[in-house]
């Protein structure tokens, strides 16, 4: 345990030595006091593979616990990546918001927190804020690249995409787009930085790391096609950065798109069961029917028809049949 | 409100008159005391359409709240069925276990009960038991046929099927199979009656009603193809019973199958993320790989391979990516 | 503690000796296992005052924890009643469903149970069922009279009334009416026995005890006028039974009324804020406006008008401003 | 949806255009992530009526969900106010802390927060903090006047009052008093600004808005007399500001009072049932009995007498019968 | 999985064949439906070792999840017992109420049930009742002997004891005492059968099985001395029954004692912190001080002194410092 | 109530006057809004004894609610300390985090907060933060000395110790060590200040108060030997400060120790039941067995052996038998 390192300001302790070469597996040990274990910790698995010289890439999944493609792709990578394959350093955290991952839930069963709204964190603010603070203040400064692997979760199904922000820094923007091109998801989603919220992606950008988020499926399940895209995308990123040998495998170039405003969302005006008119990935037109909202409280009244207010790709659809007022049931993307 | 009828032994009151002709929409008013409403009730919507002479069919959905094909098909029927189309009587309850339906959950948010383990009920045992008692003691005695529309729910995805029991009464068995043939789902699943548990189906059989359950999809979503099967199946049943004019629309005859024992299940031996080897509806072989169980607590250990122990149709698969120890991840059916 | 008595079949132990003369105060000790106290008990205060010869009356309050007139009237009686005033025996339980009383809630904070749906109980079914079983099997057989003191609780406000059932046994019926006349609440409410449910009143009647329930106010508060009615009513009952000297103090004779059917209820058809058209105790007409239901989700749509469907006394009104679908907002009584 | 406006720093989006003339109804769409809806929102209804030139008044109710007079008065106003009646702009939010209003609770069912301790908010701190941040940073800067309509809630009953702070800024103080005079509630309560806490009122004052809070009844119910005061008060404010034509309707001038210190409170020294000696609005004397606290755990011990420690108007009384240690059971106001 | 056996009436399936010889390890698979896994099961580990001819003994621990000596002793036995050592059959369930054991709690985290109040169970009544039904209806009929290994749990510390009932059947009584003598715990506690409640022990007795319960320590911890007593006691039982070779190892003969009535308990009259006057196993006198109850709400009032009301062995003491009203803080045993 | 004092910035009000001489008992009245009591408060008992001239010492216990030696020692002191014994001022808060103390839990039942991670607090951040803010901003500035009395709580048992930090300020360090010597616990634990977290101790040090924490036993119980150490230690501190007459009673000098790094901890690598190899206070060697972790899910697999990674005193052991992954099961201290 001599590899354990503690950093001023954080109570999180790593069982791996980020400066060492070779392959290490251990945990980030995050304090979590319980009534029956005042000094309890939650160990978050981490794998570091380092060799020779080259950049550092932080690969994370399980930011939300019910998004599975990234978790499985990184578990595979953690099992198989060998130091001799690597030039540089790969830090892999396959199940980052560990209590949410163990529960298969988006939000933490400890306190209901959304980990991706916890940055830059607080060292003594509880598990999620404490871990976010460690990742921001200890890990991100070590990194050249960061990829945070999301999917749509239990509620939404999304066309497999990487996701980045429109950035003021043209240089960082170009590197981000090159990274997204290398990942080669079907869609590259670019969103305005404004109102990004306190996410890991925004924090990585603020620290000058070339960084992407992603949406690689959803519906609360592990989709085999999206898992394949994710595995290849991760390998492509490592090749793109020069950490692995070889060139990224590119199939069809990724389609660069955006969701410009709230008019590209369809929201449920009341609770009900959503019957979509179109399947994920369809081309849809403003004014066309988006689907019907069926209300169980009124079986003799009509179902409520909703329409699209924008034209484009049906990029995201409601997966779960039951919706609550205010839930998005469709999100449309347009080409940049 | 003169149509309200109360029956000795049950505190549930119906706002419809089951003896009247024509089309009525109202509620079953089930007492549910709250801290801030001692005499509160939960009104469960019910629609009755009766005309001329003919049999009575009880159509129910929302036995589990996260199973949507049946709910939407019955909401459609409740909106559109006209007395003049009918010979006999159709009683429609589209969202039976109403609190679970309103929450989009399998189990009740009131007390965690599984409504399909509540029969024959208890008039003062709380919402679910009280409603089950009313359905058993008041509605089933009115019925010749009963179809309870289930899907696989949030956790499982299932090949669209009707489901019945192997019965000792050959006459009732023959009528049940004829009813299933008329519904014409891709699969007719026949299970041993032993250990059926206190379900609505078992209770209907015990009262001599020709009755079926079903599994019409799953994954926590409304699947358009399965919704079409369900809508057609419900219309076919009404035609089969002579309540609607015409003959059932039959496409490919339904495949009669069974799940004979626990060897046809694959259970998760520990918590993990399930990566299935095959898609729903595949033909699979005993001994072949069923998939991999990925363990987030041990990113450097191998994923756990599971195999099938029986040969047949992959009738049911785990939808949700995260599984807990003891969860079935696959169920295999064989032809009868 | 030699006065402790245990009876076969019940784990409840009384610290008072029901056969002894004089004044005793102690507890009914009801087992309630907790994670940190496997053999924990909940002590329910009980006071017994006995002297000479005469009948036994069981006085109970706190069947529902948020009904206060009876609790305070019985606490006063328990503090002040002296053996030398008594001929016979008075058993006083001022806060019967103790966990609910301590919380000021209708239902138990332990398990959500409504104590007045727990009879005849179950000795090992948990606190409420175990206590109900003890009251039914041990206390009721000791009694000639039983008065259970209710009010309307947090949700409802009710014209101060005693309440009994229409009984098949004419002799018991006559004694019940005489007891209600002696209590002399403004209203005597008589309800059909059918569907009474598993209440203390129904159980007392089944054991041949002359018994009444009551509704002595409500709104979740202690109403001084109703407290005065309750104090006088309790003293009147003891005089009526000959346990206390003197005659009942009668002011205006009690008005005998009933609520014949569901048409005498007005139910909320959806959630909202209830603005009543009339105050408690008004005379209202079928067809007249009962009030407006204001919907916060739709501030530009109209408030929903509701009407009475029966003519009579506005016997019960919704107190709490916020109502849920299915809540009664008004109950009308008519004279017998 | 072209009227939607988003402001840097807040994820809340308005469906109304605050710069437009005429009558608009829409929502403030506040993000609220759920396990089954990562991008879910809670839409808070808002109505804007603008015409000609004149000041802007923000009218809010439902800061606490169990205070009804304000909610109903603003729903009425939102339904009926026409642009042609207005000179200036009226922004109406009838059910501000929407989840609490829908539950009829003071505190949020989402996280237990008291909305009136959430200012100036935090854009990504969860529903309540996010909405508070939007109201403070987007709406208050648009306003000349702000009235936040409170009542006493489930626990307390209060003499109908507007409430303001003693302010250092004499000009703002004078305008505040004039506004309170125009509202013309029976009492105008003036409290020291010190320790006001992070309320909407304090935040409005900090931004230089002429602002009032209020206490317009309570007991968890909608009191018709207080609703009439509130409706008239709101109309009076609009007339006072010149937004509506005409003069405020003044009956008896409002009595200016204060609660100077903790000696004007009576606190429960232990749990019990509160029997008050006086009714709301009485004149009471220091040293006189305030009431009795009845203890259910000790039916033979005496009730605990409490006394007033100050002389004045019994401005606020405990409504709910059950009190916990530390609850105020009476608050006395004295004339300024 | 051909060893799986299902029995009419129970949905529980065993993965072991109770009729087979040799050593088998598997699970009792008990259905437990979840919102995200309708057909989920909880597998309860079970080990069966059978050889030659001889009696059957069922050894169980984890009836309450926070009692550890029995769980560890049976885990050891399950790891080490070889068929060739055995004449007869040993059925070992080391962690019977599995969800409570996994949580380290007395009561179930699923529904708060005390497993030892669940007999004879209900096949479809939920996990605990379903498992109890299986144990009663399937396992007990296979058995000649049954030992259920308890300790005092989180709240109580108890002198290591076996525990049985005073039985009407003299033959069964003699065999029970012989079994207890063989176990050779320091104390043999004999309690009246009356009011035993629906425990596993009472159910085993009802089926004519020679059966014991036990109390082998407590305080929520694993006590090494008590673990040694338990390991030796279990081996002694197997020798006593002739299943293992050899004679029971007897040290000091076990002291036969009883707790005759409630006067042998000291109960807390209010909440507080318990400071005991004596340590576990002391000889105490009626009238002597039992300890002090410290009340945090009143730091200047005196601590409350409690006294013993009986003379004997201080057999059980409150472990946890904080007590609630009604908790036993001491139990005294006297010699038979 | 004229002694009540309020300080700008805090809503907490003290019923005692810290500037007055003599003995006062009252409360810190901390606002805690409930749904049924908007202006509710939680009164935290406080006792102040002041006389003549001399330093001020703040004595606190119940920072964690399940740590009892300090609570009882301070309740005793609060009952018995007389002004005439004192030169200076003693402020005693025996049950500081009052809701946790009343529940006997480490963390707050209100919001799960650990009070010792709440400093320097937030006046309107809820009960714990509000009280922490008051203690920091109002009480600590009055103090020369502060002793916060902890034990190990429900989960851990610890050799009785005072605990302080290694401080940069040599003068403060010397005074701290002298204070610890005077307390004369068996061990004085000195820990690095780095990562101390937002504790009361760290906050007291930041304000220049001579301050100590402590660990005076544990296991969720009141240990008589540790209570004696605590009572004597508290009296010693008052003598050391010159507040009480006399010299500290010193037995064996306290052993100064530290826990230098994570290698001195043994953590559970998975859930299980912990069987320790050594008892608290043993001398242990690096590499020696620390104990066995028994896994109930795998009764035929081996128990997991854990070893110490450091040599020293077994200063802290897991008390509770059930452990979760990441829990410390042993902490080793070495001499300074």
Q: Would you say residue B3 has pLDDT above 50? A: no
Q: Are residues B25 and B45 in the same domain?
A: yes
Distance from the D219 Cα atom to the nearest Cα atom in chain E, whole angstroms: 29
**Within a domain: residue D8?**
no
Question: What tens digit of pLDDT does each residue of B148-177 get?
Answer: 999 999 999 999 999 999 999 999 999 999
CA distances from F153 to A144, B30, B114, F218 (A): 44, 48, 39, 5
Residues B225-254, mean pLDDT to the nearest whole number? 97
Q: Are B105 and B95 in contact (CB under 8 A)?
A: no
Closest CA to E72 of E189, E234, E188: E234
Instruction: Please state the three-class secondary structure of chain B as a single string.
Output: CCCCEECCCCCCEECCCCCCCEEEEEEEEEECCECCECCCEEEEEEEEEEECCCCEEEEEECCCCCCCHHHHHHHHHHHHCCHHHCCEEEEEECCCCHHHHHHCCCCCCCCCCCHHHCCCCCCCCCHHHHHHHHHHHHHHHHCCEEEEECCCCCCEEECCEEEEEECCCHHHHHHHHHHHHHHCCCEEEEEECCCCCCCHHHHHHHCCCEEEEEECCECCCCCHHHHHHHHHHHHHHHHHCCCCCCCCCCCCCCEEEECCCHHHEEECCCCEEEEECCCCCCEECCCCEEEEEECCCCCCCCCEEEECCCCEEEEEEECCCEECCCCEEEEEEEEC
Give the up-direction half-sphere exposure of residue D90: CA atoms within 13 A in the CB hemisphere.
Answer: 31
pLDDT category, F60, cuts 50, 70, 90?
A: very high
Give the up-direction half-sphere exposure of residue F291: CA atoms within 13 A in the CB hemisphere.
Answer: 27
Q: Are residues D149 and D187 in the same domain?
A: yes
Give the 3-state secondary structure of residue F219: coil
Q: Would you say residue F4 has pLDDT above 60? A: no
Q: Are residues F253 and F267 in the same domain?
A: no
Q: Would you say residue E120 has pLDDT above 50? A: yes
Q: Are A188 and A259 in contact (CB under 8 A)?
A: no
Question: Cβ–Cβ of C275/D71 closer than 8 Å?
Answer: no
Domain that holds residue E96: 13-258
**What gap in Å lies between CA B149 and CA B232, rounded to an integer?**
13
Which pLDDT belongs to residue A193? Answer: 60
Question: What tens digit of pLDDT does each residue of C182-221 get?
Answer: 999 999 999 986 556 899 999 999 999 999 999 999 999 9
pLDDT category, D197, cuts 50, 70, 90?
A: confident
pLDDT category, B194, cuts 50, 70, 90?
A: low
Chain position carrying tokens 């924090």: A203
Tokens of A104: 């298969």
Residues D259-264, mean pLDDT to the nearest whole number? 92
Question: What tens digit of pLDDT does each residue of C86-137 get?
Answer: 999 999 999 999 999 999 999 999 999 999 999 999 999 999 999 999 999 9
Q: Are residues B190 and B269 in the same domain?
A: no
Cβ pairs B/C, distance under 8 A: 81
Query: What Rg do the C-alpha atoms of chain D give, in angstroms?
Result: 21
Which pLDDT belongs to residue A3? Answer: 35
Average pLDDT along chain E: 95
Q: Are B204 and B240 in contact (CB under 8 A)?
A: no
Q: Are residues C216 and C325 in the same domain?
A: no
Strand order in the sheet with E289-294: E304-307, E289-294, E272-276, E322-323
pLDDT category, C3, cuts 50, 70, 90?
A: very low
**Within a domain: residue F267?**
yes
Question: What tens digit of pLDDT does each residue of E192-233 get?
Answer: 865 568 999 999 999 999 999 999 999 999 999 999 999 999
Question: What tens digit of pLDDT does each residue of D288-335 get?
Answer: 999 999 999 999 999 999 999 999 999 999 999 999 999 999 999 999
Task: Give the DSSP letter of residue F85.
Answer: G
Give the 3-state secondary structure of residue A323: strand
Q: Would you say residue D255 has pLDDT above 60? A: yes
Q: Are residues F95 and F227 in the same domain?
A: yes
**Within a domain: residue C5?**
no
Q: Are residues F188 and F111 in the same domain?
A: yes
The residue in chain B having the minimum alpha-carbon distance to the alpha carbon of residue F36 is B36
Distance from the E1 Cα atom to the nearest Cα atom in chain B, whole angstroms: 6
**What gap in Å lies between CA A234 and CA F20, rounded to an integer?**
70
Distance from the F195 Cα atom to the nearest Cα atom in chain A, whole angstroms: 6
Structural domains in chain F (count): 2
pLDDT category, D192, cuts 50, 70, 90?
A: confident
**What gap in Å lies between CA F267 and CA A39, rounded to an integer?**
10
Q: Output the domain CATH number for residue B312.
A: 2.40.50.100
Cβ pairs D/F, distance under 8 A: 79
Question: Cβ–Cβ of D194/F37 closer than 8 Å?
Answer: no
**Within a domain: residue F4?**
no
State how far Cα A20 lies from the chain centre. 28
Q: Are D54 and C277 in contact (CB under 8 A)?
A: no
Q: Are residues D270 and D238 in the same domain?
A: no
Q: Would you say residue C6 has pLDDT above 80? A: no
Closest CA to B186 of B125, B257, B237: B257
- DSSP bridge partners of D149: D61
**Within a domain: residue D2?**
no
Q: Are F262 and E42 in contact (CB under 8 A)?
A: no
pLDDT category, F195, cuts 50, 70, 90?
A: low
Q: Are E119 and E148 in contact (CB under 8 A)?
A: no
Question: Residues 6 or more apart from A80 whose CB is under 8 A from it?
Answer: none
Q: Are D64 and C269 in contact (CB under 8 A)?
A: no
Tokens of C303: 């408030």
Residues D163-174, mean pLDDT to the nearest whole number? 94
Q: What is the secondary structure of C164-232 as a DSSP string?
A: EEE-S-HHHHHHHHHHHHHHT-SEEEEEESTT--S-HHHHHHHTT-EEEEEE--BTTS--HHHHHHHHH
Q: Would you say residue E160 has pLDDT above 80? A: yes
Which pLDDT belongs to residue F7? Answer: 47
The residues of B whose Cβ lies within 8 A of any Cβ of E are 64, 66, 105-107, 112, 114, 117, 152-156, 194-195, 197-198, 261-263, 267, 309, 320, 322-328, 331
Which pLDDT belongs to residue E1? Answer: 26
Distance from the A13 Cα atom to the nearest Cα atom in chain F, whole angstroms: 8
Question: What tens digit of pLDDT does each residue of A270-307 get?
Answer: 999 999 999 999 999 999 999 999 999 999 999 999 99
The question of ipTM being above 0.90 is answered as yes
Task: Give the DSSP letter of residue F63.
Answer: S
Q: Are D204 and D60 in contact (CB under 8 A)?
A: no
The residues of F whose Cβ lies within 8 A of any Cβ of A are 64, 66, 105-107, 112, 114, 117, 152-156, 194-195, 197-198, 261-263, 267, 309, 320, 322-328, 331
**Within a domain: residue E3?**
no
Q: Are residues D268 and D158 in the same domain?
A: no
Q: Are E324 and C41 in contact (CB under 8 A)?
A: no
Q: Which of B8, B38, B43 sits opposite C326 (nearest CB)?
A: B43
Q: Would you say residue D6 has pLDDT above 50? A: no
Left (φ > 0), alpha (ψ -120 to 50) or beta: where does F328 sit?
Answer: beta
**Within a domain: residue D29?**
yes
Q: What is the largest CA-CA distance in chain B?
A: 70
pLDDT category, D111, cuts 50, 70, 90?
A: very high
Give the 3-state secondary structure of residue F9: coil
Question: What tens digit of pLDDT does each residue of C74-84 get?
Answer: 999 999 999 99
Q: What is the secondary structure of E156-187 as a DSSP string?
A: EEE--EEEEEE-S-HHHHHHHHHHHHHHT-SE
Q: Are residues F269 and F254 in the same domain?
A: no
pLDDT category, D9, cuts 50, 70, 90?
A: confident
pLDDT category, A2, cuts 50, 70, 90?
A: very low
Q: Are residues A247 and A294 in the same domain?
A: no
Domain's final residue, options A258, A273, A298: A258
Give the 3-state secondary structure of residue C141: helix
Residues F7-28, mean pLDDT to the nearest whole number? 92
CA angle B158, B162, B166 (to 5 degrees): 115
**What gap in Å lies between CA C312 and CA B173, rounded to an integer?**
55
Domain's final residue, options D227, D258, D289: D258
Q: Would you say residue F320 has pLDDT above 90? A: yes
Q: Which residues of A touch C297 (CB under 8 A)?
A: 270, 325
Sort strands D56-61 and D145-149 into parallel, antiparallel or unpaired. parallel
Q: Are residues B57 and B73 in the same domain?
A: yes
Question: What tens digit of pLDDT does each residue of F131-159 get?
Answer: 999 999 999 999 999 999 999 999 999 99
Question: Cβ–Cβ of F78/E299 closer than 8 Å?
Answer: yes
**Within a domain: residue A7?**
no
Residues D75-79, mean pLDDT to the nearest whole number? 98
Q: Which residues of A touch C298 (CB under 8 A)?
A: none
Question: Residues 6 or more apart from C305 whose CB is under 8 A from it?
Answer: C289, C291, C292, C293
Average pLDDT along chain D: 95
**What gap in Å lies between CA E152 and CA E317, rounded to an integer?**
9
Closest CA to D331 of D320, D319, D317: D317
Distance from the F3 Cα atom to the nearest Cα atom in chain D, whole angstroms: 10
Domain's final residue, options B237, B258, B279: B258
**What gap in Å lies between CA A248 and CA A184, rounded to an integer?**
8
Instruction: Please state the three-class secondary structure of F25-50 as a single string.
Output: EEEEEEECCECCECCCEEEEEEEEEE
Question: Cβ–Cβ of F41/D327 closer than 8 Å?
Answer: yes
Question: Cβ–Cβ of C72/D102 closer than 8 Å?
Answer: no
Q: Output the domain CATH number for residue D224.
A: 3.40.630.10
**What gap in Å lies between CA E5 and CA E11, rounded to an integer?**
10
Percent of chain A predicted with pLDDT > 90: 94
Task: Give the DSSP letter of residue A264.
Answer: G
pLDDT category, F83, cuts 50, 70, 90?
A: very high
Alpha helices in F184-304 (DSSP H): 200-206, 224-240
Q: Are B40 and B72 in contact (CB under 8 A)?
A: no
């Amino acid at each position: 345990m001599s590899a354990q390192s503690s950093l001023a300001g954080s109570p999180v302790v790593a069982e791996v030595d980020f400066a060492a070469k070779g392959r290490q597996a251990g945990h980030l040990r995050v304090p979590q006091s319980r009534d029956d274990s005042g000094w309890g910790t939650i160990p978050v698995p981490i794998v570091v593979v380092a060799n020779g010289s080259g950049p550092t890439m932080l690969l994370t999944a399980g930011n939300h616990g019910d998004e599975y493609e990234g978790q499985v792709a990184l578990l595979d990578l953690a099992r198989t990546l060998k130091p001799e394959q690597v030039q540089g350093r790969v830090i892999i955290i396959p199940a980052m918001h560990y209590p949410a991952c163990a529960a298969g839930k988006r939000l933490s069963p400890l306190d209901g927190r959304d980990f991706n709204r916890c940055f830059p964190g607080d060292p003594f603010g509880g598990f999620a804020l404490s871990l976010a603070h460690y990742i921001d203040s200890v890990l991100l400064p070590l990194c050249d690249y960061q990829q945070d692997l999301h999917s749509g979760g239990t509620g939404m199904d999304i066309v497999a995409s990487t996701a980045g922000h429109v950035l003021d820094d043209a240089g960082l923007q170009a590197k981000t787009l090159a990274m997204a091109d290398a990942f080669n998801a079907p869609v590259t989603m670019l969103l305005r930085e404004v109102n990004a919220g306190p996410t890991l992606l925004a924090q990585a950008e603020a620290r000058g790391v070339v960084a992407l988020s992603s949406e690689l499926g959803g519906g609360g399940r592990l989709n085999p096609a999206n898992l394949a895209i994710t595995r290849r995308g991760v390998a492509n990123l490592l090749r793109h950065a020069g950490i692995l040998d070889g060139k990224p495998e590119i199939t069809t170039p990724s389609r660069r798109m955006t969701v410009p405003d709230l008019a590209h969302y369809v929201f449920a005006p009341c609770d009900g069961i959503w019957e979509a008119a179109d399947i994920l990935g369809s081309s849809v037109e403003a004014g066309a029917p988006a689907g019907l909202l069926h209300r169980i409280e009124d079986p003799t009244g009509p179902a409520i028809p909703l329409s699209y207010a924008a034209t484009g790709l049906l990029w995201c659809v409601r997966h779960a049949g039951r919706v609550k007022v205010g839930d998005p049931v469709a999100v449309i993307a347009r080409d940049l």
